[in-house]
Amino acid sequence: MSNLLDLLLAGLATGAIYAIVAVGFTLLWQTSQTINFAQGEFVMLPAFLVLAAMHAGAPFWFAILIGILLSLLLLGLGFKTLLVNPMLRHGVLPLAIATMALAIGIKEAVKQFFSAEASPFPSIVPAGDISFFGHPVSLQSIGVLALAILAVVGLTAFLNRTSVGHQMQAAAQNPTVARIIGVPVERMILLTFLINAFLVALASLLITPIYLAKFSSGEVLGQAAFIAAIVGGFNQVRGAIAGGLLIGVVDNLAAAYVSTQYRAAVPLILLIVIILFRPQGILGRAEERTI
Amino acid sequence: MKPGILASALLATVLTGTAFAQSGTPIKLADVAELSGGGATVGTNWKNGIDLAIEEINAKGGVLGSKLVVTHADSQSNPGVARAQVQKALDNEPYVLLGPGYSGSVKVTAPLAAEAGIAQIMGGEAAELTQGGNKFLFRTSFGQQSSMPKVAKYIHDEVKAKTVAIVWVNNDFGKGGRDVITKEFGRLGIKVAADISTEAGQADFAADVSKIKAAAPDAVFIYVNEEESARMLKELKRQSVTVPLIGETTLVGQKVVELAGDAANGARGHVGLTTDAPVELVKAFREKFVKKYNYVPDHNGIKGYLAIYMIKATTEKMGKVDPKAFADNLHGLTIKAANEPGILMDATFDQNGDIDRQGFLVEIVEGKQVIKQVLPKLN
């Protein structure tokens, strides 16, 4: 029983990070039809920005601020202005391919300018255990889970309960009508990219102490979050959250009770089942298109 | 063919064939290592050790009056890429081939070097590598057939564990180690409570550690690569596993300590090479390495360094630069540190290319390797 509790908690903690990254996928898709295949590398990069700031002499907390600000600049504003804007007019597919190229570029740049080796990364959550019904539970797992949930709840509240959030949703659902009623659609889209940049930076701060900072660490994360977004529903933030948590738990249970070798296949099998029986995802909305 | 042309052809052949032997002609070495991918720690240390040794030797006039030059190629920690890179390196007719470090990559490249008749000095530790009759393959560290019995004996005699969980990486290196130590555990009456296979490059070990906790062993034997060792140690600490954690060099290496931080404290293991060894020449090597690269090398850095001094000692023993005779001369050779300080500790190479040298049992205490026991050279 305690073993199952450990697995569920570890799965939820990892899944919550997948959820944050998956939410970014859905936000970009909803507002600008961007499928960002560099999303995993977007999670990897902020950790190296923080490390670079620390190497330059900044204390950890200040390096985090620098890392987040640089992420907003590079992965939010820069990504939208330099890659998405020029490519989107050529269609979704060229843009998707361009993000694949970007993923390779980021990986190789980190490898060349930082290191191909893994580096340690300090945790923002203190080490240690707390007792949960007499069972020791890692403070780090709890902390990661709590921070991730806080981020997701905060984002949901922002989208549903603020005027800016409503404008973002309007811009995502029907940009033409949104423009007519005075919503600054372009600014809302930019805000979405900045939110995505913040989410990946947060995910980076949470996952890197566990996975270590390495140029290739985004591959696994990007794939898991992409599957989570599809499983949960690519066009719904709540779907991405559910998908992330589900993939995290399923992955851990599969590794423990099925096989470590086949663990990577289990989320993919889940993906196939979802596509066959509920193509819009668990909590997604079916979209119809007139041809 | 006219006699004049025949004579010219013969002369050209002789001149080409003896090009290696001419004093002053650079001696070409080719290195294929894991400079990126999962084994980047292994390959980078190995490469830096090689470069340091070559710099030292060349500064003192080279080997038999010839400078050493090396080309480094990246295997990307991928056996397929390693094979292609080794083939490319052999096409340039190196004196000796260096690397790779991963056993899987050594396995697929060794036949190429043997076919070319070029000696290959590598970092792989899988037991099977030197048991296939390849007369051109040489180790720079202990093979698993030498190290695993020592680890099993330590777990039995000192830790007094009756049950052990084995965690191993599912590649040639990990499977080789797992097979040898499982046999040793069987011989010593130690029960394997959990046999957990992991993947190279695996990032998340939460489920594996849960399995260990469920098995409740007296000790855990961990045999995965350096980065995965660090992640595993962090997860074991995160899930409050307190039983003894024992492994080999890849569990208690310098890089693992750097990556795992506090989580590495208490980990124990057998190491063939460590920069914390109570040996003056090793300490001097460490100082030189740190001065040049600004970090403390792990055992792979020492391996790369030793590989070059193995070449120097063997070549000087032969008195000529002869790639075809190199392997024969290294077999059975004992290199004494008193005569060749670059070899750091006395080493003997047997007919299989395996190495005999003193080893160490270490424990990580407050982020540092502490030598608990020195295991003497056998012969």
pLDDT at A236 exceeding the cut of 90: no
- β-partners of residue A213 are A119
Give the confidence band of B20 by pLDDT, cuts at 50, 70, 90.
very low
How many CB atoms within 10 Å of residue B182?
19
Q: Which of A32-36, A128-132, B53-57, B252-256 has the highest mean pLDDT?
A: B53-57
Better-predicted residue by pLDDT, A112 or A49: A49
At residue B15, does pLDDT exceed 60?
Answer: no
Q: Calculate mean pLDDT across residues A158-173.
A: 90
Amino acid at B327: A
Test mutation, B77, B209, B238, chain A, max A CBs within 10 A: B238
Does position B18 have pLDDT exceeding 60, yes or no? no
Angle (CA) B37 B39 B41, round 5°: 110
Cβ–Cβ under 8 Å, residues B145 and B270: no
CA angle in degrees (0–180, nearest 5) for A67-A73-A79: 120
Q: B347-349 and B334-335 as β-strands: parallel, antiparallel, unpaired? A: antiparallel
Judge whether residue A46 has pLDDT over 60: yes
Please give the Cα distance from A15 to A22 (Å, whole number): 10
pLDDT surpassing 50 at residue B19? no
Predicted confidence band at B14 (pLDDT cuts at 50, 70, 90)?
very low
Residue owning tokens 């060229």:
A94
Report yes or no: B333 and B325 within 8 Å, Cβ to Cβ.
Answer: no
- The alpha carbon of residue B207 is apart from the nearest alpha carbon of chain A, in Å, by 5
Q: Is the peptide bond before B26 cis (omega within 30 degrees of 0)?
A: no
Closest residue in chain B to residue A213, using alpha carbons only: B259
What's the whole-number mean pLDDT along residues A146-164?
90
Is the pLDDT at B243 greater than 80, yes or no? Answer: yes
Residue B376 predicted with pLDDT over 80:
no
Q: Which residues make Cβ contacts (< 8 Å) with residue A271, sequence separation at least 6?
A: A227, A230, A231
Q: Give one DSSP letter per residue of B30-89, joined into a string.
A: EEEE--SGGGHHHHHHHHHHHHHHHHHHHHTT-BTTB-EEEEEEE-TT-HHHHHHHHHHH
B145 touching A, CB under 8 A? no
CATH top-level class for A2-122+136-277? mainly alpha
User: What architecture is the B146-271 domain classified under in CATH?
Assistant: 3-Layer(aba) Sandwich (3.40)
A5 versus A171: which is more confidently predicted? A171
What is the reported pLDDT for A44? 96
pLDDT of residue B86: 97
CA A162 to mean position of chain CA atoms: 23
User: From the DSSP assignment, how many helices (H) and strands (E) are in chain A?
Assistant: 12, 2
- Determine the average pLDDT of the residues in A21-26: 92
Contact predicate B372/B361, CB 8 Å? yes
Decide if A127 and B262 are in contact by the 8 Å CB cutoff.
yes
Q: Nearest residue of A to residue B259 by CA position?
A: A120
Q: What per-residue confidence (pLDDT) applies to A200?
A: 96
Task: Give the minimum alpha-carbon distance from B293 to chain A in angstroms, rounded to a whole number.
Answer: 13
Residue B1, classed as helix, strand or coil, is coil
Instruction: Find the Cα–Cα–Cα–Cα dihedral B285, B290, B291, B293, rounded to 10°.
Output: 120
User: Is A141's Cβ below 8 Å from some Cβ in B?
Assistant: yes
Instruction: Look up residue B343 and give its two tokens.
Output: 């070899």
Say how far apart CA B213 and CA A262 lie, in whole Å: 21
DSSP B212-265: HHHH--SEEEEE--HHHHHHHHHHHHHTT--S-EEE-HHHHSHHHHHHHGGGGT
Q: Are the beta carbons of B300 and B47 closer than 8 angstroms?
A: no
φ/ψ (deg, to 5) at B335: -105, 120
What is the Cα–Cα distance from A108 to A102, expressed in whole angstroms? 10
pLDDT digits (tens, 9 = 90+) for B319-363: 999 998 999 999 999 999 999 999 999 999 999 999 989 889 999
Looking at per-residue pLDDT, the higher value among B167 and A287 belongs to B167
Architecture of the domain defined by B19-142+279-358: 3-Layer(aba) Sandwich (3.40)
Query: Which residue do the tokens 């506090």 mark?
Result: B262
Residue A288 pLDDT: 58
Whose CA is closest to B230, among A121, A259, A137?
A: A121
Instruction: Return the axis-axis angle of helices B299-318 and B280-293, rounded to nearest 10°.
Output: 110
Q: A248-258 burial by CB neighbour count: b if 16+ within 10 A, else e?
A: bbbbbbbbbee
pLDDT band at residue A30 using 50, 70 and 90 as cut-offs: confident
Give the amino acid at A238. R
Closest CA to A282 of A247, A218, A230, A208: A230
A2:B213 CB<8 A: yes
What would the mean pLDDT of B20-34 be, rounded to a whole number?
83
Interface contact B255-A117, CB threshold 8 A: yes
Q: How far is CA B265 from CA B94, B258, B362, B368, in A?
A: 43, 11, 11, 8
Predicted confidence (pLDDT) at residue A290 exceeds the cutoff of 70: no
For all residues of chain B together, what is the average pLDDT?
90
Q: Which of A119, A253, A260, A266 to mutate to test the interface with B (most CBs of B within 10 A)?
A: A260
pLDDT tens-digit readout, A81-126: 999 999 988 888 999 999 999 999 999 999 888 888 889 999 888 8
**In whole numbers, what is the pLDDT of chain A averaged over residues?**
89
In this structure, which amino acid lies at residue A239? G
- Whether chain A has a CB inside 8 Å of the CB on B35: the answer is yes
Task: Please say if the pLDDT value at position B61 is more than 60.
Answer: yes
* CB-nearest partner of B214 from A3, A255, A263: A3
Query: What pLDDT does residue A65 have?
Result: 97
pLDDT band at B16 (very low <50, low <70, confident <90, very high): very low
Q: How close is the nearest chain A Cα to the Cα of B229, in Å?
A: 11
Residue A139 has pLDDT above 90, yes or no: no
Q: Which two tokens stand for residue A66?
A: 């620098």
The values of phi and psi at residue B239, to 5°, are -95, 15
Residue B373 pLDDT exceeds 90: no
Determine the Cα–Cα distance for residues B267 and B236; give it in Å rounded to an integer.
11
**Mean pLDDT computed over B88-117:** 95
pLDDT of residue B85: 97
Going from N- to C-terminal start, the domains of chain B cover 19-142+279-358, 146-271
DSSP letter at A213?
B
The count of C-alpha atoms lying within 13 angstroms of the C-alpha of A1, restricted to the half-sphere facing its C-beta, is 4
Nearest CB to B210 within list A3, A116, A212: A3
pLDDT for the residue numbered B118: 96
Quote the CA–CA distance of B273 and B49 in Å, as a whole number: 13
| Domain spans of chain A, in order of start | 2-122+136-277
Instruction: State the nearest Cα–Cα gap between A222 and chain B, in angstroms.
Output: 13
pLDDT(A269) > 80: yes
Residue A275: pLDDT above 50?
yes
> Residue B65's CB: how many other CB atoms inside 10 A?
11
What was the pLDDT predicted at A103?
A: 96
Map residue B197 onto helix, strand or coil. Answer: strand
d(CA B5, CA B17): 18
Q: Do domains B19-142+279-358 and B146-271 have the same CATH topology?
A: yes
Cβ within 8 Å, pair A210-B261? no
pLDDT of residue A64: 97
Q: What are phi and psi of A205, to 5 degrees?
A: -65, -30
